[in-house]
Chains A and B, each alone.
Chain A
Amino acid sequence: MLPILNIGPLALQAPLLILLAGLWLGISLSERVAGKASLPEGDIGNLLLVTLGTLILGARLVFVIQNFPLYFNAPLGIILPNPDTLALLEGSVLAVIAAVVYGQRKNLPLWETLDVLIPGVILFLMAAAGKDLASGAAYGTPSDLPWAIELWGVKRHPVQAYEFLIDAVFLVLMLRLGVTGRPGTRFFLGTALLAGGRLFVEGFRAEAFVIGGGWRVVQFGLLVVLVWALVMLRKRVVST
């Protein structure tokens, strides 16, 4: 594992660098795809930056408001970067609102925009899997398969690598297959693939929120997303 890269006096967090690289590559890819789809490349890149910026700032602001008495006594903490101090659900709602407002102001067509965003999202998720592999996070269940990796004292499924590879296959499919049809077809196909892929990969994770006899809650959520995306995909195919 390479959580820290020590370069002279600098201690750089490798997982964060991988994530930032993935973000940059994801935005660049979506911009390229947007150019091919005759959408304004700059607006697509800005849309992603506005959404992400609102997500981070909004999530941070909500967390500070929720814990205001503590921050009132230690205000320096408000500006310190810490991914654990983000109210992600509330931040996501604010980010969606910001994306919708920005998209409307720039007259970006909804489904065409979502179509060009999905390859960038997949590339970013590949980087997120790489980040987990570098930091040893989101690790897999014990395994004695030949490709199992030693992590936290036990040979385990390299679940982060599974995720990376599956996403890579999906990305190639999305870019190579000439997906045609009504706007939104590419988005729902990508969403279905991502949900299905994650439903499979989640089965190898060692840590999960479970109910009853070990049922992984996230898999049920992903199954709902998968079916919804397929239903929406079919509607688009049928009406073409």
Chain B
Amino acid sequence: MSLLAEKRWWYLLLAAILILAGMWINLSRLQPAAGQEIAAHPYTGFRAPDFSLGTLEGNVVSLSDLHGQVVVINFWATWCTPCRLEMPALEHLHQELGSDGVVVLGVNTTHQDSPSAAADFVEERELTFPILLDVENIAGSAYEVQATPTTFVIDREGVIRFIQIGGPLDEAFLFSEAESLLEEMD
């Protein structure tokens, strides 16, 4: 510490730090990933893993078919209380922004639930957004879902921008996220 008091050593130390820091800042520049495809992983900043699942009505929905739209994927189960609590927020989002390009997908974790329970719940709550049945845990496994509810918000380029593990969702925040993602490419 006493070396710092001597002017000569002080200037020497400062110069050494500036030179070393400058060299490191230059050496560690982040090379732009232009042209490289973003890998698919269930984490913020990565491309959302693709999946195809059947709906309650018997149709098949593939995530890749929704490219160009903002997609909200919500993993849920009928026995999960926070899942039940956040359903009105998802329905509201679907009603309000569905026509603007926001797609809400409710992925029922059917491997730990049942199609009939899901159908009853959807009817009781009058949910109108697509409910997908993940009977073999295909999407749940691809998204490494460890707890319900888990929600992923995906931008128009198919990149995951927000993840919430647990619930219920903050509806206002969900709207602000979806609206800002819609505006990104307008």
Contacts and interface: CB of A to CB of B under 8 A. Distances in A.
B5 interface: yes
Interface stretch (B55-63, B100-108, B169-177): B169-177
B151 to A, nearest CB: 11
B172 A74 contact: yes
B17 interface: yes
A141 B28 CA distance: 10
Contact of A152 (B18, B46, B172): B46
Interface string B30-47: 111000000101010110
Interface in B130-186: 146-147, 162, 164-166, 168-173, 175-176
Contact of A4 (B147, B164, B172): B147
Given A13-B165, A214-B32, A207 B45 contact: yes
A234 B5 contact: yes
Interface residues of A, number: 48
Contacts of A77: 170-173
B8 interface: no
Given A77-B172, A153-B39, A154-B39, A216 B21 contact: no
Contacts of B31: 214
B159 to A, nearest CB: 12
Interface of A: 3-4, 6, 11, 13, 67, 70-71, 73-74, 76-77, 80, 82, 84-85, 136, 141, 152-154, 179, 181, 185, 196, 199-200, 202-204, 206-208, 210, 213-216, 219-220, 223, 226-227, 230, 233-234, 237-238
Interface of B: 1-2, 4-5, 10, 13-14, 17-18, 21, 24-25, 27-32, 39, 41, 43, 45-46, 89, 92, 146-147, 162, 164-166, 168-173, 175-176
